[in-house]
Amino acid sequence: MRRKILQTTLGVSLVMIALMTAAMFWGDWVGTAANTQGQVETQADGVAMKLHAQFHDGDSVTSAELEGLLPAEHRIELVTPDGTKLVVGSDETSGPAAQEVIDGVGTLRLIDTTGTLQSNHLNANATIVGIGLVLALIATVLALRTSRRLTTPIEELAAHAERLGSGDLRPSDNRYGIAELDRLADSMDASVLRIAALLAEERRMTLDASHQLKTPLTALSLRLEELAAWPDDAEVRAEAQSALDQVERLAGVVDELLLDRRSPVAKRPREPIRQVIDQQLQEWKPAFHAAARSLQARIDLPSTTDVDPGPVGQVMAALIENSLLHGSGVTTVEAHRPNGTTWIEVFDEGAGIPDAIAADVFERDVSGAGGTGLGLAAAQDAAVSVGGRLALVSRRPAHFRFFLNGWEDPAAIGGEAEERPETDSDHVGRDVVSDG
């Protein structure tokens, strides 16, 4: 932008200077020529008056007498009444000239051969060129200052906006003496204060809600621990232990909400992806058994592949729950890494996603029958929080893909997936971890 402003400002200035210089050249040419011509006419009038005073009685004029009246570096041509032509002075015949008719003497023509006109033109032209160069230099300096004065505030405002996007909600105190830019800076600072207030209120509500959940969760954990220690019924102990594990994971989620994500304390240890998938399978198997459905997994990843268990588990839970609520048949979870891209897929054998909501399936408040419209949107947010992304690979049957790193099938993102049945070749060479 600075270059464009500089080019525009300097271009306009140089055009104006060029037009002014051309006008000065023209004015000098006309003015100098008229001034020199006037001087020659004055000199010719003086010579004519002297000749008329000396030879008014019809006496003949000689060349020697004309030379006595000749101005320096001039030429006099006199044609007497009898046709005689007398010439004295310079041999040069070009230059400003004036002619006088003298009664009884003849016709006088005075020619200025000093070269004053050309010299005056050269001096004036040199002066005009010098003035033009000085004005061009001044215009360049002013254009540089103007472009810097206009673009520096814009660059600072852009940097401020970029800081806002990265979460730095500090207002900027810079003002630039330009009404429009100062008004923009005031608006940005006001927006910063409003956003900071909204985030603070949201954080306060989240902390309050999380804190309120801690007490009943702690009490529930204690009761489940008592049930898990029940000595007489192994089945009760197993169910209590399973419920206790889920309550502890829920308590972990609440603890994460209480942490400031910008603090290093909030960083969770990574876990093997097989462990995260197996944990989700164990949690969701009872629900699938109750619905007379099957849940299975296939993994083709190195055992050293570690992930952030919180967001990854949240994404998987949302996809599995979505399949349980809206799908049918066998639900399959697959994890593999083609061409260096790690992804997790969840698909079933159901009727798929209706065309009316396929394009907006990851938007909030968009859901099929019986859903809240928040699960897939929250899953997308969780995926993005770890640098990943959710994509809808096919609508019928529903086939979701969670990219943990890298990208493939970008056209499938956002509901642009096509109807595509699964084939046996899609599952060749993958390790079966668990089958419900």
- At residue 26's C-alpha, the angle toward residues 20 and 31, to 5°, is 120
pLDDT at 293: 93
The pLDDT assigned to 268 comes to: 61
Which residues are bridge partners to 99 per DSSP?
109
State pLDDT tens for residues 135-144: 888 888 888 8
**Cα–Cα distance for residue pair 391/385, rounded to 1 Å:** 15
DSSP state of 353: -
Measured N-to-C along each axis, helices 116-165 and 2-54 cross at an angle, to the nearest 10 degrees, of 170
Amino acid 425: pLDDT: 33
Pick the CATH number of 179-258 from 1.10.260, 3.40.50, 1.10.287, 1.10.3470: 1.10.287
User: What's the pLDDT at 349?
Assistant: 92
Q: Is 277 exposed, middle or buried (0-12, 13-18, 19+ CB in 10 A)?
A: buried
Total count of residues recorded for the chain: 436
Domains 1-168 and 179-258 share a fold: no
Q: From the centroid of its chain, how far is CA 160?
A: 13
Domain boundaries, the chain: 1-168, 179-258, 269-435
Per-residue confidence (pLDDT) for residue 267, from 0 to 100: 54
Considering only CA atoms, give the Rg of the chain: 49
Determine the residue type at 343.
Answer: W
d(CA 401, CA 333): 10
CATH number assigned to the domain with residue range 1-168, chosen from the 4 options 3.30.450.250, 3.40.50.1970, 3.30.300.30, 3.40.50.300: 3.30.450.250
What would you measure as the largest C-alpha separation in the chain, in angstroms? 164
Q: Which residues of the chain have pLDDT under 50?
A: 260-266, 407-436
Helix or strand (DSSP H, E) at 347: strand 343-347
DSSP-based three-state secondary structure for 263: coil
Shortest CA distance to 261 belongs to which of 386, 143, 105? 386
Query: According to the model, what pLDDT value does residue 422 have?
Result: 43
> Taking the CB of residue 362, how many other CB atoms lie within 10 A of it?
21
pTM above 0.75, yes or no: no
Distance CA 151, CA 142 (A): 14
Tokens 């889920």 — which residue? 246
| Whether CATH 3.40.50.11030 fits 269-435 | no
Beta strands 331-336; 295-300: pairing state: parallel
Q: List, in sequence order, every residue forming a beta bridge with 392; answer none if it has no partner.
A: 400
